[in-house]
Amino acid sequence: MKKLIVTLMGASLFIAACGGNDVVNEASNSTNNETTSNGTYDLASGEEIYQQKCAACHGGDLTGAGASAVTGLTYDEVLDAVVNGAGSMPAGLVTGSDAEDVSAWVEKVGNE
């Protein structure tokens, strides 16, 4: 039984990975986990958080609005900026798994 569940989970991860950009367009599904190079994050939630907490300064398309563009960055660079602050950006705008989800989303979309 356990083996079956593991197999099913593997299959759904595979389907999610093949969905590519679809995940980004499914922001309403807040339990839409996807595996990136760093682990599994809720990228739909990450996008929502970005639009609510980051877009005002960094632009809805990540290319900057007042603050700099947040494209071409790694997950670690984004998470470091969110957790510790960067320049005049305050630390801790988003914390915990929200910070991880938004960092994974910024890395993914900013490197497409």
Query: Which residues of the chain form contacts with ligand HEC (CB under 6 A)?
Result: 53-54, 56-58, 67-68, 70, 73, 77-78, 81-82, 86-89, 93-94, 102, 106
Residue with tokens 């915990």: 96
Could you tell me the smallest distance in angstroms from the CB atom of residue 21 to ligand HEC?
Answer: 20
Task: Report the run of H or E that residue 86 belongs to, with start and end.
Answer: none
Could you tell me the smallest distance in angstroms from the CB atom of residue 12 to ligand HEC?
Answer: 28
Q: How far apart are CA 89 and CA 64, in angstroms?
A: 13
Residue type, 73: L
Could you tell me the smallest distance in angstroms from the CB atom of residue 109 to ligand HEC?
Answer: 11
Nearer to ligand HEC by Cβ, of 13 and 93: the residue is 93
Nearer to ligand HEC by Cβ, of 36 and 53: the residue is 53
Q: Is 36 exposed, middle or buried (0-12, 13-18, 19+ CB in 10 A)?
A: middle
